Amino acid sequence: MAWIRLKPLSQQTIVITGASSGIGLATARAAARAGAAVFLIARNEEALAHIVEELRHRGARADYAVADVGKLEELEAAAKKAEEAFGGFDSWVNDAGTSVFGALEKLPLEDHRRLFETNYWGVVHGSTIAARALRRRGGAIINVGSVLSDRAMMLQGAYSATKHAVRAFTDALRMELEREGAPISVTLIKPSGIETPFQEHAKNLLGTPGVRIPPPAYDPRLVARAILHACAHRKREIVVGFGGHAISLMGNLFPRATDRVLEAVGFSAQTTQKRPKPARADNLHEPREDGTEKSLMRPVAPLRRTSLFLEAQLHPALTATVLAGLGALAAGALAARGQRRMPAPRRLAQRWH
């Protein structure tokens, strides 16, 4: 197995696909704040140009390329531009993605195929391009999956299928690179429901005014934190948000019961009477209005900006130490409580006399 050495963020150049909004935009901003050079890829040139101008104004090194990740030749041209702009890259983040909400039987085949071109083939294209480049100098490939990589959600069946495929591809790529001794870290990020423009950009075939992510909703900056941690630290998987992870866990332990629960709440949990702004709706086949980390639709539940579950994964040794300390304190408290309840020896002797 090759020794994998990942640079500190301040010494890295990071390529991010799907960088014009949501998780990708949050990651680009966080990376720039950490001192990294960032190269952004998306379909929306207007949004990319504005974001790069913003980052450069703040003193960051930033550039972009317009590309559809589902088209290999466009993504290869974008990677070449990144090489020319920064002399290479150290981490490649495959974040581009979209969705369709609708029953599988009513989903047009062209939409189903298009979803796979972006969500799955975009990861395949980006990962293979990155692997060729990083074999020479080492680095990280970070693929953004979902908690739906483990447990499918009704009415997002096609999206769930793409994320299952992303997980399988990522696991296989990791094994193959390790076997050949390539100095490349491969990480799968599995977000729960994240408050991004995802719910506005998704195509809606449900006949409702709008669609939404089921609560609880987490801040996209939490996912950005997980992604950047994986850029600098070798990690296999990172799950963002215990809410979605709990559903996956329940599905593994009690699959039929989980089916029943999701069948009962799946429609109401994913629909809303709030209609997205027309300029932002349905970016499946063409780019739509971008440029924000979060949805412009009012959240259906309080936004969760912290996650102890995430912190425990990022710092497992510290978490184990804290838990061991808490366990020792609890054991000591129980022992002391037991001693206070025990009668004194002299009193026991008096009772016997």
Q: For tokens 């699959």, what's the residue?
A: 255
Torsional sign, CA 61, 88, 228, 64: positive
Q: Is 242 helix (H, G, I), strand (E, B) or coil?
A: helix
Residues labelled as active-site residues? 159
The answer to whether the beta carbons of residues 138 and 5 sit under 8 Å apart is yes
C-alpha 217/C-alpha 196 separation (Å) is 9
Per-position b or e across 121-140, b if 16+ CB within 10 A of its CB: bbbbbbbebbbebbbeebbb
C-alpha 49/C-alpha 63 separation (Å) is 8
The token duo for 224 is 């950005």
C-alpha 42/C-alpha 38 separation (Å) is 13
| E strand or H helix at 173 | helix 157-180
C-alpha 27/C-alpha 6 separation (Å) is 18
The answer to whether the beta carbons of residues 99 and 159 sit under 8 Å apart is yes
